A = this chain, B = another copy of it.
């Protein structure tokens, strides 16, 4: 892991860009962190639109996390931002776009082709990032994962024992195979669902929530459309991490 830039966002937050091999990432830490005890870490998931495009929302989430006493970090997803495109992924995206534009139901094959290769590639990268991040001074466990492509969160929570709690956003297509993986998750989960999210299958999201194996799982359903998660829902998710990571 190599740091490529560092800036103070204000008196409280240090933002450092890094690269982990070919993968760019960003780390946000409290200014006071190096002097005090290591802080827990929240991994910030995001949709595959590229870190640059997602930056405004990511930095807002990171500032909130740091204000709550956490470090926060994210990495670019495979095939997003400046990372090399995969022909198969581009083909799957095109197929999805055509299906949606034609007003047709999205079939399982299209979902699998779109999501499963992304999960297979992204999850080991998040794990490698975790190795590097947890070796830094000032960052300790426990670790939370928050948001983004829900199938990446499912796989990470299912296979990575260092993830102690996860906030998942039920806002994207989920392959049937991931629903099966969801049954293996045991860590506390806080699941956000936008009830009136037109691009999302509500029943599939409810079935997924039902499948999670965790004894403590909470579903927070709100109004406001796909991108309209209310401020109070974000606050409740923050409280969930404070309860479980501190």
- Which A residues form the contact surface with B (CB < 8 A)? 195, 206, 209-210, 215-223, 230, 232-233, 235-236, 239-240, 243
Contact = CB atoms under 8 A, between A and B. Distances in A.
Contact of A218 (B210, B216, B221, B240): B221
A215 B223 contact: yes
B209 A217 contact: no
A236 B221 CA distance: 13
B223 A209 contact: no
Contact of A221 (B209, B230, B240): B209
B232 A222 contact: no
Given A232-B243, A243-B232, A195 B219 contact: yes
A220 B223 contact: no
Given A215-B223, A218-B221, A218-B232, 4 more contacts: A209-B221, A218-B222, A219-B220, A219-B222
Contacts of A209: 195, 221
Nearest to A220: B220
B218 A219 contact: no
13 contacts: A195-B209, A195-B219, A215-B223, A218-B220, A218-B221, A218-B222, A218-B232, A219-B219, A219-B222, A232-B239, A232-B240, A232-B243, A235-B239
A181 to B, nearest CB: 19
Contacts of A240: 232
A218 B243 contact: no
B232 A223 contact: no
Contact of A206 (B206, B218, B223, B232): B206
B206 A216 contact: no
B232 A210 contact: no
Nearest 9 CB-CB pairings of A with B: A219-B221, A218-B222, A220-B220, A236-B236, A217-B223, A215-B223, A232-B243, A216-B223, A218-B220
A239 B221 CA distance: 16
A127 B50 CA distance: 55
A220 B216 CA distance: 13
A210 B195 contact: yes
Contacts of A223: 215-217
Contacts of A218: 220-222, 230, 232-233
